[in-house]
């Protein structure tokens, strides 16, 4: 009988067996998830509702927020559920789904960051033709390409990984991670996934090379801008994107270059948490702190919500006072 037919679930060994520590992990993951959720929802709401942000750059930023919400939900929600329910099990189908959507959102995220670099390159280096090149139809097409490319990328890796037979169902991680799954394989066909990983590396390096060359040209153009105000405006839209790209690449490279056979389980979990959690949490913070337009819209949005809340509260207090016997008018 084939091994894959006997494995219906996997055991995740990423966290402690002590119940108290599991609940601590649940609280930590809950706080992290709520931070990412609120931050990305605020960015998405600002981009959708405020007409001043209806431009290509913020259209792509809205897509990035959607991807980040999916990115962090794939691993964090299951980790929270396991910690709260005191279990380590994940079904075979859940594991496939987790691997697929993790690669889907992660790849789409990186492809979109490459498209955003192209958008900034055209906006700063060729501003006279920007509206003609990056028009509404082009934005929709580029966004669709990033989502479809992520879908194909995830399908290739998921299919190559789960085509292998597994000799064990114990994963030394808090989620289904492909390098850990490959260690469970009892077949030499893991070379298929190695080829897929090499293809991914070439694709990732190509995107990174394009981003790097784009920013070389961008900085050359920015430093030729005569006015300090113009340079500051250009930097305010480029620096957040560059920080996000650097964070994404740093955490991703750290996760993929760590020694798999000799590394400690705690180190594996810490590095994996970094690339699964840090980008979705930090992206809205970076954009809201470094981008003046985003900060202005978020401040206006929060001020309006606060005023409505206080107005309703004040109205309830006045209504309560008028309904008291001593305050009624005859």
- SS3 of 85-115: HCCCEEEHHHHHHHHHHHHHHHHHHHHHHHH
The first and second tokens of residue 138, run together, are 């082009």
Sequence ranges of the domains in the chain: 3-290
CATH topology of domain 3-290: Rhopdopsin 7-helix transmembrane proteins (1.20.1070)
Full-model pTM: 0.82
Residue from 84, 82, 72 nearest 11 by CA: 82
- Residue whose entry in the numeric block shows the structure tokens 């207090």: 317
Quick: pLDDT tens for 157-210: 888 888 888 888 888 888 888 878 888 887 765 566 667 667 777 887 888 889
Quick: pLDDT tens for 284-315: 888 776 667 777 777 776 676 666 656 555 55
Phi and psi based region of residue 86 (left: phi greater than 0; alpha: psi -120 to 50; beta: remaining): left
What are the counts of helices (DSSP H) followed by strands (DSSP E) for the chain? 11, 3
- At residue 113, what are phi and psi to the nearest 5 degrees? -60, -35
pLDDT of residue 262: 42
Q: How many CB atoms lie within 10 A of CB 273?
A: 21
């Amino acid at each position: 009988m084939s091994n894959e037919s006997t494995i219906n679930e996997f055991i995740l060994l990423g966290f402690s067996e002590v119940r108290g520590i599991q609940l601590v992990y649940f609280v930590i993951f809950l706080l992290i998830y709520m931070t990412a959720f609120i931050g990305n929802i605020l960015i998405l709401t600002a981009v959708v509702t405020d007409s001043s942000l209806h431009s290509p750059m913020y259209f792509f930023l809205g897509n990035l927020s959607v991807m980040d919400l999916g990115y962090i939900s794939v691993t964090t929600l299951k980790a929270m559920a396991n910690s709260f329910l005191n279990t380590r099990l994940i079904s075979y189908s859940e594991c496939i789904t987790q691997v697929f959507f993790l690669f889907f959102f992660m790849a789409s995220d990186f492809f979109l960051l490459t498209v955003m670099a192209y958008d900034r390159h055209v906006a700063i280096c060729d501003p006279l033709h920007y509206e003609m090149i990056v028009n509404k139809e082009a934005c929709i097409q580029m966004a669709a390409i990033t989502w479809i490319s992520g879908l194909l990328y995830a399908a290739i890796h998921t299919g190559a990984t789960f085509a292998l037979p597994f000799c064990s169902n114990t994963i030394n991680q808090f989620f289904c991670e492909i390098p850990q799954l490959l260690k469970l394989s009892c077949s030499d066909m893991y070379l298929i996934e190695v080829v897929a990983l090499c293809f991914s590396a070439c694709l990732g390096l190509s995107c990174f090379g394009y981003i790097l060359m784009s920013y070389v040209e961008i900085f050359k153009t920015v430093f030729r801008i005569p006015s300090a105000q113009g340079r500051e405006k250009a930097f305010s839209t480029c620096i957040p994107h560059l920080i996000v790209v650097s964070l994404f690449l740093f955490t991703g490279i750290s996760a993929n270059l760590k020694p798999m056979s000799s590394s400690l389980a705690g180190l594996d979990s810490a590095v994996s948490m970094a690339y699964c959690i840090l980008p979705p949490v930090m992206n809205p913070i970076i954009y809201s702190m470094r981008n003046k337009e985003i900060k202005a819209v978020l401040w206006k949005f929060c001020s309006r919500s606060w005023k409505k809340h206080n107005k309703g509260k004040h109205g309830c207090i006045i209504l309560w006072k008028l309904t008291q016997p001593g305050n009624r008018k005859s």
